[in-house]
Amino acid sequence: MSKGAPKTPAWWFGDAAVPWWAQLLAPVYAGATGLRRRLYRGGLLRQRRTDVPVIVIGNLAAGGAGKTPLTIAVVQKLRDAGWRPGVASRGYGRKDEGMARWVTAETSPEEGGDEPVLVARRLAVPVRVDRDRAAAARALAEAGCDIVVCDDGLQHYRLARDIEIEVVDGARRYGNARLLPAGPLREPVERGRCCDFRVVNLGHGGGEVGTGFGEWPMQLNARAAVPIAGGRPRALASYIGIRVHAVAGIGNPQRFFDMLRALGVGVVPHAFADHHAYRVEDLQFGNDLPVLMTEKDAVKCAPFADARCFSIPVDAELPAAFWVALLDRLARLR
């Protein structure tokens, strides 16, 4: 594992005992977040509503669950259905997070955030980053968007929403089901029952992971390996039986490594913290083996990537019935 790899507490998703200090702090966190929810529900804290429908895609557990691939898929389906979508995001990890800005394909990840830049490059739709997601949604509506998709922000109650989609990591689920810092949850598991849809990320192929009643399965299908420095894409099958350096700075790097291994690729894993700011040295491994990385990491490594480096884009695939249900709900709002 590489220097700077994420240090997820062993007790969150494993069998390790929860430290006493985490057990003491969890009720404090629960009280503070619970009070905040009640203040919004009671109207003492005011939600901000836009003139267009808002879809919020988020998760309860800290770390990645596959929100951005789902956001991209939702926006694509909305465009196909005749909507003019825009994407709102906080743009976590960018410089000067207090400044709102428009993100385009030319925006640097340092200024726009890695996930918003990835969305802008994949979709060419209006993308607005703002710590205040309600303000971002208003800006998108004023720019001509007739629907806003919020990438993350399930707990950002200031933004009123019409549809909530909870995304769950199919392998890790809710871990030990405790609230921070005793567990990975930002809100109790019961909060998910208030969401309109629950999407379970099964990763590549799903493996032994399944879905329960009322859950929608999502698979992430890897596309060809795309040279970051330019050139023709290569089929992932060309790496079968070949050792590669696999680089992932996402919420759950293991998901990326497992996907490559399932395809028959010989993986030398290098996990970095989510939203890691890459440097040239991070990709120096002492040999010339190919370097395969997530698309999210590739947008940050593009300025110094060489011929060894490839991006592995993934597409979210969900049942046709999910899209029928989502578009039917939106038709009633429209």
| pLDDT at site 207 | 54
> Helix and strand tally (H, E) in the chain?
9, 14
Report the predicted TM-score, pTM, of the whole model to 2 decimal places.
0.92
Within 10 angstroms of residue 70's Cβ, the number of other Cβ atoms is 22
Residue 66 marked as a ligand binder: yes
- What is the pLDDT, as a whole number, of residue 1? 47
Residue 14 marked as a ligand binder: no
Distance separating alpha carbons of residues 216 and 107, to the nearest angstrom: 34
DSSP bridge pairs for 142? none
Angle separating helix axes 320-333 and 67-80, nearest 10 degrees: 60
Q: Distance (Å, rounded) from C-alpha 302 to C-alpha 22?
A: 39
- State yes or no: 65 annotated in a binding site: yes
> For 49-194, where are the alpha helices, taking DSSP H only?
67-80, 109-112, 114-123, 133-142
At the topology level, CATH places domain 49-219+317-333 in Rossmann fold (3.40.50)
Whether residue 61 is annotated as binding a ligand: the answer is yes
Is 34 annotated in some ligand binding site? Answer: no
Nearest partner of 153 among 105, 110, 115, 193, judged by Cα? 115
pLDDT along the chain (334 residues), means of 10: 62 90 94 92 90 95 88 97 95 85 93 93 94 95 96 92 95 92 94 94 71 88 91 93 93 90 93 89 91 94 93 95 96 83
Annotated ligand binding at 192? The verdict is no
Is 68 annotated in a binding site? The answer is: yes
Structure confidence at residue 7 (pLDDT): 67
> 3-class SS at 135?
helix
Q: How far apart are CA 296 and CA 87, in angstroms?
A: 16
8 Å CB contact between 12 and 125? no
- d(CA 221, CA 118) in angstroms, rounded, equals 17
Q: Could you tell me what percentage of the chain is helix, strand and coil, using 3-state DSSP and rounding each to the nearest 5?
A: 35, 25, 45
Query: Is 141 part of any known ligand binding site?
Result: no
